[in-house]
């Protein structure tokens, strides 16, 4: 089901201990509505049941918070709807402390029979300090606890006349569960619980059953409502769990959960699915449950603009005080970001990425992250190869270790046959000891050493040192069979062991080594023998990035979008076909690591930023939005060039056809 998402949302948590009194005592429609208006909200996710297992409405299925004496959920729904704001309903699933305590048979188990928990010491005394984010996992594999969630869902759907959507949290996509019900269920299906593959198969099928049944209950009475299953429901590496959600919510709190580079590639992946998606950040300095933590409004503005530049609607996390009173300072900060978001919405949605550079996900997050980090820092706009479809791209990057299936190899070979270009690194495209495409190389074997050295030739030498460069992972062994060698790998004297070591870290390169191919090109295929993507993700050496980008520029010298921004800049372009225009988004913010968080404090301005866009259509005007300022431009050989006079945080240039 296609569901149109609201563009400016808040996700309102309310995980509230039964020990706390006066729950909702200061809630009022006026305070609630004032916050929503001040924040420029179009939707707010409100709560039916929290991680403590407390419900916030009169319930016969669950347990209402003992210090709540009215229907708080119903009042929030009414208050939001009165001013035209949507209010999807939050239901905790995989974490519910009360249910875990009252029904230990509902708890998930590991293969060894122990309970599956997060940050819980089973031997802790009652007065021992409890770690942050510590909960017992419950089993959602369509068994007795799942029946409880179905009943709760049905009760909510029956109770309220208007439901905009349901948000199920902690629907973890673990490897498997080995509770008694799951073991019995596996055996009933002819599966062996002792075989990890069988346990995984059962887990996937039963999780799919759980999400399907929740949707059926909801849509029986509320056919137009949205539904989303969080905590793995938007994992690009597990598409088997994507089908039941009407949309995707990319929970990428950048300060503490993966940084500011995590969201863009995920957005590019989910742009292919045909469903709307949103980015999720938090008003907190760190992350969820940090009550009283505040992020600067400038950071929120940057984060929301970044989400929208990649086609994502926005959601900002908050946590309501037990009294039910909305905090005005929070919604002042959110409003600062969303006021600007409202102005740029027309230039962010309803379009498609225009990039002709594709990234084939390897399945290894470290390698994929390294590749995307290098591309983002170089402002090389890219898309994600989705379901082996290479058609949107002229050049495709394969990072480090992916091995496409048979269908993928055929699609790749067809891509190459029509003139497509491929950059691949490390052990990628190797199966049964041989490359799966003709790259003018013979695959010999894995690295000879844990670390070695890279020497580049002139072809890859721009802005790169010409001395042997240390590589933190060794190069794959290959032999040139027609490919042009562009760089060589030199071996060290020896790997570091207790018997053979040198200095503090590693041995020097051995001058007696004549080297072997570390980079080679064969027509439209360029190969880098080191796992440069994972290496950059783990170690961040700029010269390694430059070698990678020099190789990419050799293959793809004329990208759709070019601009001269510092490495903290981001650039992307979409085409909005119905409006007959391209929208170029430029971002500039400088996150810095401060203690446990990545922080954006300053948003310095850049001036006179050059931009070139290569498109087949004739461009008739260029202007900055939302200001409406016309920009002078030139057109030559399909390249439209102009300059953005001032960039602070975000700018969007609209190219009208």
Convert the pLDDT of each residue in 604-623 to its tens digit: 999 999 999 999 999 999 99
What is the DSSP code (8-state) at residue 657?
-
**Residues 403, 429 contacting (CB under 8 angstroms):** yes
pLDDT at 174 over 80: no
CB-based contacts of 180, cutoff 8 Å, min separation 6? 105, 109
Distance CA 75, CA 253 (A): 29
How far is residue 70 CA from its own chain's centroid? 38
Tokens of 555: 């293959």
Judge whether residue 1 has pLDDT over 70: no
CA 105, 110, 116, 122 torsion: positive or negative?
positive
Beta bridge partner(s), residue 455 = 488
pLDDT grade, residue 256 (50/70/90)?
Answer: confident
Give the single-character DSSP code of 348: T
What's the mean pLDDT when you consider all of the chain?
A: 96
Averaged pLDDT, 17-41: 98
Question: How far is it, in rounded angstroms, from Cα 633 to Cα 622?
Answer: 7
CA 443 distance to own-chain centroid: 34
- CA gap 484, 573 in Å, rounded: 34
Q: What are the residues facing 442 on neighbouring strands? A: 479
The whole-number pLDDT of residue 161 equals: 98
pLDDT of residue 41 exceeding 90: yes
257-299 tens-digit pLDDT: 889 999 999 999 999 999 999 999 999 999 998 999 999 999 9
Percent of the chain residues topping a pLDDT of 70: 100
**Model pLDDT, residue 100:** 98
Q: pLDDT tens-digit profile of 544-602?
A: 999 999 999 999 999 999 999 999 999 999 999 999 999 999 999 999 999 999 999 99
- The confidence score (pLDDT) of residue 624 equals 98
Q: How far is CA 395 from CA 81, 218, 535, 551, 563, in A?
A: 48, 43, 22, 12, 19
At 211, list the tokens: 């999400």
- In the predicted structure, residue 402 carries a pLDDT above the cut 90: no
| Rounded CA separation 503/221 (Å) | 71
Tens digits of residue pLDDT in 509-526: 999 998 999 999 999 999
Measured distance CA(545)–CA(532) in Å, rounded = 8
Percent share of the chain, pLDDT over 90: 96
Does the pLDDT value for residue 2 go beyond 70?
A: no
Q: What is the pLDDT of residues 76-135, one digit of tens each?
A: 999 999 999 999 999 999 999 999 999 999 999 999 999 999 999 999 999 999 999 999
pLDDT of amino acid 232: 85
pLDDT in tens, 620-656: 999 999 999 999 999 999 999 999 999 999 999 999 9
Q: Treating both helix axes as pointing N-terminal to C-terminal, what angle do 196-221 and 144-159 enclose, rounded to 10 degrees? A: 20
pLDDT tens-digit series, residues 202-245: 999 999 999 999 999 999 999 999 999 999 899 999 999 999 99
Mean pLDDT of 193-197: 97
Q: Which long-range contacts (CB under 8 A, 24 or more apart) does 326-332 make?
A: 326/31, 326/32, 326/34, 326/35, 327/35, 328/34, 328/35, 328/38, 329/294, 330/35, 330/39, 330/283, 330/294, 331/35, 331/36, 331/38, 331/39, 332/38, 332/297
358 SS3 class: strand
- Ramachandran region, residue 324 (left: φ > 0; alpha: ψ -120 to 50; beta: rest): left
DSSP state of 586: E
Q: Which two tokens stand for residue 196?
A: 């990890």
Closest C-alpha to 456, from 554, 384, 334: 554
Q: CA-to-CA distance for 284 and 291, rounded, in angstroms? A: 8
In this structure, the number of other CB atoms found within 10 A of the CB of residue 410 comes to 12
* Residues recorded for the chain: 657
Answer whether 62's CB lies under 8 Å from 49's CB.
Answer: yes
Nearest to 397 by CA among 262, 554, 539, 261: 554
């Amino acid at each position: 089901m296609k569901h149109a998402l609201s563009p400016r949302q808040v996700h309102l948590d309310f995980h509230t201990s039964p020990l706390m009194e006066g729950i909702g005592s200061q809630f009022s429609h006026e305070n609630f509505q004032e916050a929503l208006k001040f924040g420029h909200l179009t939707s707010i996710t409100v709560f039916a049941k929290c991680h403590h297992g407390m419900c916030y409405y009169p319930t016969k299925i669950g347990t209402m918070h003992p210090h709540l004496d009215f229907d708080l959920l119903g009042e929030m729904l009414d208050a939001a709807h009165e001013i035209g704001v949507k209010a999807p309903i939050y239901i905790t699933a995989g974490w519910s402390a009360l249910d875990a305590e009252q029904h230990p048979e509902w708890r998930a188990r590991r293969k060894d029979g122990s309970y599956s928990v997060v940050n819980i010491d089973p031997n802790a005394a009652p007065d021992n300090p409890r770690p942050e984010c510590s909960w017992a996992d419950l089993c959602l594999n369509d068994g007795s606890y799942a029946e409880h969630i179905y009943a709760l869902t049905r009760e909510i759907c029956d109770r309220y006349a208007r439901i905009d959507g349901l948000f199920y949290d902690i629907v973890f996509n673990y490897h498997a569960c080995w509770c008694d019900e799951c073991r019995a269920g596996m055996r009933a299906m002819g599966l062996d619980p002792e075989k990890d593959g069988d346990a995984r198969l059962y887990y996937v099928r039963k999780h799919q059953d759980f999400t399907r049944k929740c949707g059926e209950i909801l849509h029986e009475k509320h056919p137009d409502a949205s539904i989303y299953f969080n905590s793995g429901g938007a994992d690009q590496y597990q598409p088997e769990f994507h089908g039941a959600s009407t949309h995707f919510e990319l929970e990428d709190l950048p300060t503490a959960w993966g940084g500011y580079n995590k969201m863009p590639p995920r957005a590019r992946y989910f742009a292919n699915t045909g469903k709307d998606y949103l980015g999720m950040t938090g008003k907190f300095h760190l992350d969820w449950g940090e009550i009283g933590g505040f992020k600067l409004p400038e950071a929120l503005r940057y984060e929301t603009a970044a989400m929208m530049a990649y086609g994502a609607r926005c959601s900002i996390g908050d946590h309501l005080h037990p009294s039910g009173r909305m905090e005005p300072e929070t919604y002042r900060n959110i409003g600062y970001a969303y006021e600007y978001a409202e102005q740029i919405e027309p230039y962010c949605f309803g379009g498609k990425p225009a990039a002709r550079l594709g990234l084939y996900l390897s399945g290894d997050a470290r390698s994929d992250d390294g590749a995307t980090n290098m591309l983002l820092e170089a402002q090389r706009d890219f898309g994600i190869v989705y379901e082996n479809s290479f058609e949107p791209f002229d050049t495709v990057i394969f990072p480090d270790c992916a091995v496409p299936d048979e269908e993928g190899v055929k699609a790749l070979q067809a891509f190459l046959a029509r003139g497509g270009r491929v950059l691949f690194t490390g052990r990628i495209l190797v199966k049964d000891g041989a490359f799966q495409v003709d790259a003018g190389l013979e695959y010999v074997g894995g690295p000879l050493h844990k670390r070695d050295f890279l020497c580049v030739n002139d072809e890859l030498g721009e802005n790169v040192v010409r001395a042997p460069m240390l590589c933190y992972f060794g190069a794959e062994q290959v032999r040139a069979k027609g490919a042009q060698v562009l760089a060589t790998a030199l071996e060290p004297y020896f790997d570091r062991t207790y018997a053979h070591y040198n200095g503090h870290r590693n041995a020097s390169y051995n001058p007696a080594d004549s080297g072997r191919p570390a980079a080679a090109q064969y027509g439209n295929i360029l190969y880098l023998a080191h796992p440069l993507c994972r290496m950059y993700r783990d170690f961040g050496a700029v010269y390694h990035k430059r070698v990678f980008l020099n190789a990419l520029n050799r293959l793809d010298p004329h990208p759709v979008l070019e601009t001269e921004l510092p490495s903290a800049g981001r650039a992307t372009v979409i085409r909005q076909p119905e409006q007959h225009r391209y929208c170029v988004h430029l971002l500039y913010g400088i996150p810095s690591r401060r203690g446990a968080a990545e922080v954006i404090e300053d948003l310095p301005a850049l001036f006179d930023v050059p931009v070139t866009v290569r498109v087949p259509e004739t461009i008739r005007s260029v202007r900055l939005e939302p200001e409406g300022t016309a920009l002078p431009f030139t057109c030559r050989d399909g390249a439209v060039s102009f300059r953005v006079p001032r960039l602070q945080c975000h700018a969007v240039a609209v190219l009208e056809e």
